[in-house]
Amino acid sequence: MPKSLTPPLAKLKQEIEGHAREFGLDFFETIFEVVSYDELNMVAAYGGFPTRYPHWRWGMEYEQLSKGYEYGLSKIYELVINNDPCYAYLLESNSDVDQKLVMAHVYGHCDFFKNNFSFRHTNRRMIDDMANHATRVRRWIDKIGVEKVEDFIDRALSLENLIDQHAPHIRRNPDPQRAEDELKSNERVEGFKVNREYMRGFINPSEFLDSQRKKVEEEKARTKKFPERPQRDVLAFLLEHAPLEPWESDILSIIRDEAYYFAPQGQTKIMNEGWASYWHSTIMTRRALKDDEVIDYADRHSGTMGTRPGALNPYKLGIELWRDIEERWNKGRFGKEWDECDDLRARRSWDKKLNQGREKIFEVRKHYNDITFIDTFLTAEFAIDQKLFVYGFNDKRNSWEILDREFRKVKNKLLQQLTNFGQPIIEVVDGNHDNRGELLMAHKHDGQDLKGDYARETLRNVQSLWRRPACIITRYDNKGVLLRFDGQNHTEKKIDL
């Protein structure tokens, strides 16, 4: 089980923490625990937490991680939990230089967690909540049975990406126009206009008024949509409206809580890993590294930064981008004058000696997420320097190939990959579809089709929670399609969009 730091490690921690503070990093108290490989694999399988609710997928994760170790594919880990205090893990068999590198990297993450706006609404006591979730799920298992609970978790997990990532930041103001409409529609039905008061009873007999009133009510009921606006948080919608047993609601809300907790980490992966890498490299090379550790450090560092053509390494892309920003703001390579300069030689030797780089990156780490980070700071020069390209699958040759190196396309593809974690945006549009209590969802199609077999399996899981047929509108090959699962059969219907 996790051990507290040995005196030499405690000394290292003190040293690295000192460097980090000196550089201006600002973090919660950070607790390091020393663990064995097995324990590290376990914690990693649990997403960094010491406890999670029981489920086979952690076991699958664990198996893959352990295998990676056996095959010598993975060596060094850094694992930090966004919590106050932050928790991080050190592998007991690592050398001092590894431990220092990991600590420096961890302080980078902790600073990011504390200061980046995306994490402002996260639960800083998540470590306790995760443990509580585990206890609750275990108690349900005792009561309901492991098979039923696990089966439900499987289905709930299948929907875990159907949340509204930005929900924690949205304040839902009442809509004045809608309120006004609502007020108006509540006015009494007056019937025909009456000039002579004594004629009123004849022109607008009470039966007539009643029937008119009823008509209006019916009309209102008919047009009242449910939900009134498309709802991105499909899990919340199901929690509120699906006929779930109490234990099912409880588990679904656990899955949803955890999904929201992890969402900001997905939204800032490139920034966060880049930031931590920037700081481990700065702290190590400027302060902490001893002469005889240089080679091992270089070996580890380059191992983390390695790239393969068909995958983007967030550590590498991130650190390079941070360094690029720092350099640009040091040299004054921004602003109107810079943008308008098209003399290549002048651009190359441009140096206004502003030295605002450090300050700038600290500001950026506060107010951006991956999308705005890439959108604002990824320049054409950078894309060329870093040899970025768009790749795609060539059906004819049955292989992946480089499609484009054009800056605009690279950037757009990258932004597309980052939007909603590169996952489709799905909303509930009607909870009473066809007036038969069917659930209708819509996929906001952005040029990419859903993976068909997965969509059908997922629809099956939605149906099992909703307990009425579930449908989704999407597009295949540019044609509108309504997929429907009624509990027995899948159907697919062409529709006009």
Partner 1 sequence: MSLRIHQDHSRFKQIVRGKIKSNLRKYVQKGEMIGKKGKDTISIPIPFIDIPHFKYGHKEQGGVGQGDGDVGQQLSPGAVQPGDGHQAGQGEGDHSLEVDVTLDELAQILGEELRLPNIERRQNEKIVTQKIKYTGVNTTGPESLRHFKRTYKQALRRQIAMGTYDPARPVIIPTREDRRYRSYKLQELPETNAVIIYMMDVSGSMGDEQKEIVRIESFWLDTWLRHQYKGLEARYIIHDAVAREVDRDTFFHTRESGGTMISSAYKLCRDIIKSDYPKSAWNIYPFHFSDGDNWSADDTRQCIEMLREDVLPNVNQFAYGQVESPYGSGQFIKDLREAVGDSTNVALSEIADKDAIYASIKDFLGKGR
Please give the size of the binding site for partner 1, defined by CB under 8 A.
Answer: 79
Instruction: Please tell me whether residue 60 binds partner 1 under the rule CB under 8 A.
Output: yes
Q: 318 to 357, contacts with partner 1 by CB under 8 A?
A: none
Give me the amino acid identity at 482.
L
User: Closer CB to partner 1, residue 360 or residue 411?
Assistant: 411
Write down the least CB distance from residue 492 to partner 1, Å.
Answer: 15
In angstroms, the CA 203 to CA 193 distance is 9
Instruction: Please tell me whether residue 294 binds partner 1 under the rule CB under 8 A.
Output: yes
Q: 10 to 39, contacts with partner 1 by CB under 8 A?
A: 38-39
In angstroms, the CA 342 to CA 147 distance is 66
Instruction: Please tell me whether residue 303 binds partner 1 under the rule CB under 8 A.
Output: no
DSSP string, 322-384: HHHHHHHHHHT--HHHHHH---HHHHHT-------HHHHHHHHHHH--HHHHHHHH--HHHHH
Write down the least CB distance from residue 231 to partner 1, Å.
Answer: 15
- Of the ranges 122-130, 184-192, 282-290, 454-462, which one interacts with partner 1 (CB under 8 A)? 454-462
In angstroms, the CA 175 to CA 29 distance is 43
User: Closer CB to partner 1, residue 269 or residue 360?
Assistant: 269
Instruction: Please tell me whether residue 397 binds partner 1 under the rule CB under 8 A.
Output: yes
Q: Which of 22, 26, 63, 175 binds partner 1 (CB under 8 A)?
A: 63
Instruction: Please tell me whether residue 3 binds partner 1 under the rule CB under 8 A.
Output: no
CB atoms within 10 A of CB 274: 28
Instruction: Please tell me whether residue 94 binds partner 1 under the rule CB under 8 A.
Output: no
Instruction: Please tell me whether residue 400 binds partner 1 under the rule CB under 8 A.
Output: yes
Q: 353 to 392, contacts with partner 1 by CB under 8 A?
A: 386-392
Stretch 117-156: interaction string toward partner 1, x if CB under 8 A: ---------------------------------x---x--
Instruction: Please tell me whether residue 46 binds partner 1 under the rule CB under 8 A.
Output: yes
Angle at 206 between CA 201 and CA 207, to 5 degrees: 130
- Best CA proximity match to 65, nearest among 74, 76, 57: 74
Q: Which of 26, 56, 139, 240 binds partner 1 (CB under 8 A)?
A: 56
Q: 192 to 251, contacts with partner 1 by CB under 8 A?
A: none
Q: 401 to 420, contacts with partner 1 by CB under 8 A?
A: 401-405, 410, 413-414, 417
Write down the least CB distance from residue 310 to partner 1, Å.
Answer: 3
Size of the chain, expressed as the number of residues it contains: 497
User: Closer CB to partner 1, residue 60 or residue 495?
Assistant: 60
Q: Would you say 53 and 133 are in contact if contact means Cβ atoms under 8 Å apart?
A: yes
Write down the least CB distance from residue 347 to partner 1, Å.
Answer: 23
- Beta pairing, strands 479-485 & 470-476: antiparallel
Sign of CA dihedral 42, 45, 51, 55: negative
Instruction: Answer whether the bond into residue 227 is a cis peptide, omega within 30°.
Output: yes
Write down the least CB distance from residue 45 to partner 1, Å.
Answer: 6
User: Closer CB to partner 1, residue 83 or residue 420?
Assistant: 420
Instruction: Please tell me whether residue 478 binds partner 1 under the rule CB under 8 A.
Output: no
Write down the least CB distance from residue 172 to partner 1, Å.
Answer: 25
Q: Which of 133, 269, 316, 360 binds partner 1 (CB under 8 A)?
A: 316
Query: What is the DSSP-derived secondary structure letter of residue 478?
Result: T
In angstroms, the CA 373 to CA 365 distance is 9
- Best CA proximity match to 110, nearest among 140, 131, 81: 81
DSSP string, 89-138: EEETT--HHHHHHHHHHHHHHHHHHHHSGGGTTS-TTHHHHHHHHHHHHH
- Of the ranges 50-58, 177-185, 188-196, 350-358, which one interacts with partner 1 (CB under 8 A)? 50-58
- Of the ranges 51-59, 111-119, 184-192, 347-355, which one interacts with partner 1 (CB under 8 A)? 51-59
Write down the least CB distance from residue 429 to partner 1, Å.
Answer: 14
Query: What is the DSSP-derived secondary structure letter of residue 33?
Result: E
Q: Would you say 487 and 460 are in contact if contact means Cβ atoms under 8 Å apart?
A: no
Write down the least CB distance from residue 210 to partner 1, Å.
Answer: 48
